Amino acid sequence: MTKHSCKAGQFLKNEQYAAWHDETLWIVREKRDKMARAVPEWEKLRERASKIKEHTLSELDNYLIEFEKQALKNGAQVHWAADAAQFNQIVYNIINENNASKVVKSKSMLTEECGLNLFLETKGIEVTDTDLGERIIQFRNEPPSHIVMPAIHLKKEEISELFHQKLQTEEGNFDPAYLTTAARLHLRQKFLEAEVAITGVNFAVAETGTVVVCTNEGNADMGAHAAPVQIHCMGIEKIIPGIVDLGVFIRLLARSATGQLITTYTSHYTGPKPGGHMHIVIVDNGRSEHLAKKDYLNALKCIRCGACMNTCPVYRRSGGHSYGSVIPGPIGSILAPHSQIKTSSDLPFASSLCGSCSDVCPVKIDIHDQLYRWRQDLSEMKLVSPGKRYAMKIAGKILSKSKMYDCLGKTARYVIKNLPHKLIYNRFNIWGKGRELPEVPKESFKQWYKRTYQEKGG
Amino acid sequence: MNQTYNLQIGLFIPCYIDQFYPQVGIATLELLHKLGLDVHYPLKQTCCGQPMANSGSEKEAVPTYKNFIRNFCQFDYVVSPSGSCVYHVREHYNILEQTDEVKKVRKNTFELCEFIVDVLKMDDLKIDYPHKVGIHQSCHGLRGLKLGTSSELVAERSSKVHRLLEKAKGIEIINLDREDECCGFGGTFSVFYPDVSVRMGKDRLNDHLRNGTEIITATDMSCLMHLEGIIRRQKYNLKVAHIAEILNSNSL
């Protein structure tokens, strides 16, 4: 069993909790279905979004240059980071140049990917995540378990206990309205104190030099409006060509993510506020290398809606933390091997290849096909366990020769039929852990066919 | 046998059906005969190669792929009671050199239900089946071969399996809470992910139990093998029957 498979097994030990996790995310999937079905042209939208991304990725260099040109014209400062280390340093330098020590940050998977919080904290900067879910997991010192709902693995009782410790709320009071009010008051103070606000970016419009940030809590705006310095962090793949394209994605994003028509806030940042400074940091961190891999290119279309997680029967039953990658779930399983092949070589196997992820994806990423392709590539690179590869080699030999196959089939049926139950259901029989083996028939179909048609001359 | 079609049909019986569920192979063969087809079962067939390929060893599967092509290239159509294997042949035999034979086999290999509906253009097989049937939409058939509209897509709902079963006399098709969630078999996934796989299966079965299914059917016996294994272990009051077994209970 792989690392992820073991962790998933751990996750499932608490059956009630696992059922709750599965059901909670399934409800989000159902909300998404309802919203998507209310848009008759849904499939056309997906196709359009996929094509826009395909086109953009094919001319990414030009669009990035156009974006930078426009952003500069708007008065923003643009920085380029080749990797996570450069990115962290650039952000730190901006903070440092402004003699700041208190930073608020709205949700950004890119900063998670680059380990920005940790980097800034070691430099003595106080970073406060202002998305409620992010703040909760920051208090708990753990990574997000979902890219849209980072604290979805926690029940309100656990949050009540956490807030009691961190924010001195009443013990045992887990009324959501009470707890969110406490969080608001706490965060309000952080917003007022912050000297720098960091946000992620959902879309960057090349034509206008605008960055677009979608939130439900308005926390990105609160930060960017109150702090004198705002920093927007984006991967190079966030670019879309024009403002008309934005509508396509905005219609897909919230419906796919949470089953909302639109996020409460869709904020366009086109230039600095009067007297303020606006920085945009554009990060590569392995993306251009990924861009060169034709078979995997589509994964760069991802708009981080998380729909593939909500629909994935394996994710729902293993939890985001079991993946051990910044982005969990199906999309995480095809992204992670690009940057961390050795530590994530088990992830492309974390799927029954049911294909639900590809059908739910608003930008039509061929997720399950990429999982399949990764399996082949990982095996070629010898990053699949030698035992498994050897077993498949043997299976390949047997199944290519009918005589050997017939003979071994007969033996296997004999063994299952005649060995005592206890010997068959031993600890090496993983199938038998939770299932009975099929009842063994007295003859195979082939034997029946020969007996029925050949011996009778039929 | 009354042959009404001038077609040579190659019958592909997947390895695990051959070894463990001969009755499904027999039902398929009998049904095709009843439909008036000239059916041949090449004796040197083995497997479609999917077990190796899904585990990442598609190169080890190439000799098995070639064996499949050798056995089936002479037929007008290849018919199989497995959506998953058919999907594998169509989708993943792309790594073979695309000779005329390979192209022909990939194009003409059909899952049983889609063969009946799309090629024979039939949907009323005059079946009597007075049971409460829960349809398990096997993923590779549903999303791979598009035997129906998956619940994720926003399109007119259709399902070839439903079309064939709806006409059966006395049948009650059970509506499920989650109409097409995966059962957790997933080939070698079922042994490399035993806990998740069994949990997925139990959740599917409980959906059927909650909604009053007596018999679960599917286009893939592999899903049913996994589900039946759990049913027997948990002593659930459910039965499984491959779609071919139901369709063969007809009076054509």
Indicate whether B73 belongs to any domain: yes
What residues are paired with A18 via a beta bridge? none
Cβ distance of B17 and A438 shorter than 8 Å: no
> pLDDT for A54-103, tens place per residue?
999 999 999 999 999 999 999 999 999 999 999 999 999 999 999 999 99
Nearest CA in chain B to A377: B56
Same domain, B15 and B76: yes
Residue B30 covered by a domain: yes
User: Best residue in B46, B236, B239 to probe A by mutation, most A CBs within 10 Å?
Assistant: B46
pLDDT tens digits, B91-121: 999 999 999 999 999 999 999 999 999 999 9
Cβ–Cβ gap A359/B64 under 8 Å:
no
Q: Do B56 and A379 touch (CB under 8 A)?
A: yes
pLDDT over threshold 90, residue A392? yes
Residue B4 has pLDDT above 80, yes or no: no
pLDDT value, residue A454? 81
- B112 and B136 inside one domain: no
Interchain CB distance below 8 Å, A311 and B152? yes
- Asked whether the beta carbons of residue A351 and residue B185 sit closer than 8 angstroms, the reply is no
Shortest CA distance from B54: residue in chain A: A372
Which pLDDT does position A356 carry in this prediction? Answer: 98
Chain B positions in Cβ-Cβ contact with residue A412 (cut-off 8 Å): 19
* Predicted local distance difference test score (pLDDT) of residue A247: 97
Domain end call among B66, B84, B119: B119
Whether B115 and B163 map to the same domain: the answer is: no
Domain end residue (candidates: B57, B87, B119): B119
pLDDT digits (tens, 9 = 90+) for A52-61: 999 999 999 9
B136/B166 same-domain check:
yes
Q: Are B78 and B72 in contact (CB under 8 A)?
A: yes
B175 compared with A433, residue with greater pLDDT = B175
What pLDDT score was predicted for residue B2? 54
8 Å CB contact of A353 and B54: yes
The nearest CA of chain B is from the CA of A252 a distance in Å of 13
Q: Is A269 helix (H, G, I), strand (E, B) or coil?
A: strand
For B177-223, the pLDDT digits (tens) are 999 999 999 999 999 999 999 999 999 999 999 999 999 999 999 99
What mean pLDDT, rounded, does chain A reach?
96
* DSSP characters over A27-96: HHHHHHHHHHHT-TTHHHHHHHHHHHHHHHHHTHHHHHHHHHHHHHHTT-EEEEESSHHHHHHHHHHHHH
- Provide the shortest C-alpha distance from residue B100 to chain A (in Å): 21
Residue B126 lies in a domain: no
- The beta-carbon neighbor of A12 closest among B51, B195, B232 is B195
Same domain, B71 and B102: yes
Q: Do A12 and B232 touch (CB under 8 A)?
A: no
Q: Are residues B42 and B88 in the same domain?
A: yes
Alpha helices in A211-312 (DSSP H): 219-226, 243-258, 287-291, 307-311
User: Which residues contact residue B164 at a Cβ distance below 8 angstroms, ignoring those fewer than 6 apart?
Assistant: B113, B116, B117, B123, B125, B243, B247
Domains identified in chain A and CATH numbers: 39-288 (3.40.50.10420), 397-454 (no CATH)
Q: How far apart are CA A18 and CA A316, in angstroms?
A: 8
Taking the CA of residue B229 and the nearest CA in chain A, the distance in Å comes to: 4
Sheet holding B239-242, edge to edge: B172-173, B132-136, B215-218, B239-242
Q: Assess if residue B125 is contained within a domain.
A: no
Enter the tokens of residue A166.
């961190």
Average pLDDT of span B162-172: 97
Give mean pLDDT, residues A342-347: 96
Residues B91 and B137 in one domain: no
Q: Are residues B177 and B242 in the same domain?
A: yes
Which residues of chain A have a CB within 8 Å of the CB of B42?
A: none
B239 inside domain: yes
Do β-strands A77-81 and A277-283 pair in parallel, antiparallel, or remain unpaired?
parallel
The region that residue B118 occupies, defined by phi over 0 for left and psi between -120 and 50 for alpha, beta otherwise, is alpha
What is the overall mean pLDDT for chain B?
A: 96
User: Which of A317, A354, A359 shows the shortest C-beta gap to B196?
Assistant: A317
Grouping H, G, I as helix, E, B as strand and the rest as coil, residue A232 is strand
Strand order in the sheet with A229-235: A77-81, A277-283, A229-235, A196-199, A102-105, A126-129
Q: Is residue B32 part of a domain?
A: yes
Give the CB-side neighbour count of residue A263, counting CA atoms within 13 A: 23
pLDDT of residue A456: 61
pLDDT digits (tens, 9 = 90+) for A426-448: 888 899 999 999 999 999 999 99
- Closest-CA distance, B246 to chain A, in angstroms, reads 18
Cβ contacts of B56 on chain A, cutoff 8 Å = 349, 375-376, 378-379, 384, 388-389, 392
Q: Determine the pLDDT at residue A457.
A: 54
Chain A with chain B: Cβ pairs closer than 8 A: 229
Which range of residues forms the domain containing residue B166? 132-247
For residue A438, give the nearest of B148, B193, B229 by alpha carbon.
Answer: B229
Residue B124 located in a structural domain: no
Burial of A159 (0-12, 13-18, 19+ CB in 10 A): buried
Distances (CA, A) of A78 to A73, A95, A96, A234, A278: 11, 15, 17, 11, 9
In this structure, what CATH number is given to the domain that contains residue B52?
Answer: 3.40.50
Residue A362, φ and ψ in degrees, nearest 5: -70, -15
Rounded Cα distance between A449 and A457, Å, is: 11
Phi, psi of A189 (to 5 degrees): -60, -45
Judge if B234 and B148 occupy the same domain.
Answer: yes
The model scores a pTM over 0.90: yes
Q: Domain ends where: B63, B89, B119?
A: B119
pLDDT of residue A375: 98
Instruction: Count CB-CB contacts under 10 A for residue A415.
Output: 12
Chain A residues in contact with B228 (beta carbon < 8 A): 436, 438
How confident is the model at residue A458, as a pLDDT? 46
Q: Give the mean model confidence (pLDDT) for residues A421-429.
A: 85
Answer yes or no: is B168 within a domain. Answer: yes
Shared domain for B18 and B68, answered yes or no, is yes
CB spacing of A392 vs B25 below 8 angstroms? no
Q: Give dist(CA A390, CA A386) in Å, integer.
A: 6
Given a contact cutoff of 8 angstroms between Cβ atoms, the answer to whether A70 and A271 are in contact is: no
Q: What is the tally of structural domains in chain B?
A: 2
Which whole number is the average pLDDT over A43-49? 98
Percent residues over pLDDT 70 in chain B: 98
pLDDT at B3 over 70: no
Report pLDDT for B1. 47
Please say if the pLDDT value at position A272 is more than 80. yes
Strands of the B8-11 sheet, one edge to the other: B38-40, B8-11, B77-80, B109-111
**Phi, psi torsion values for A327, nearest 5 degrees:** -105, 120
pLDDT at A296 over 80: yes
Same domain for B139 and B240: yes
Q: What is the mean pLDDT of residues A8-25?
A: 98
The stretch A385-391 carries a mean pLDDT of: 94
Kindly list the residues from chain A whose CB atom is less than 8 angstroms away from the CB atom of residue B20: 413, 438-441
Give the pLDDT confidence of A172-213 residue by residue, as tens digits: 999 999 999 999 999 999 999 999 999 999 999 999 999 999
User: Minimal Cα–Cα distance from A376 to chain B, Å?
Assistant: 4
Domain check: are B137 and B221 in the same one?
yes
* B-chain residues near A251 (CB < 8 A): none
- What are the CA-CA distances from residue A164 to residues A127, A141, A144, A171, B54 (Å)? 21, 16, 21, 6, 48
Quote the pLDDT of residue A420: 86
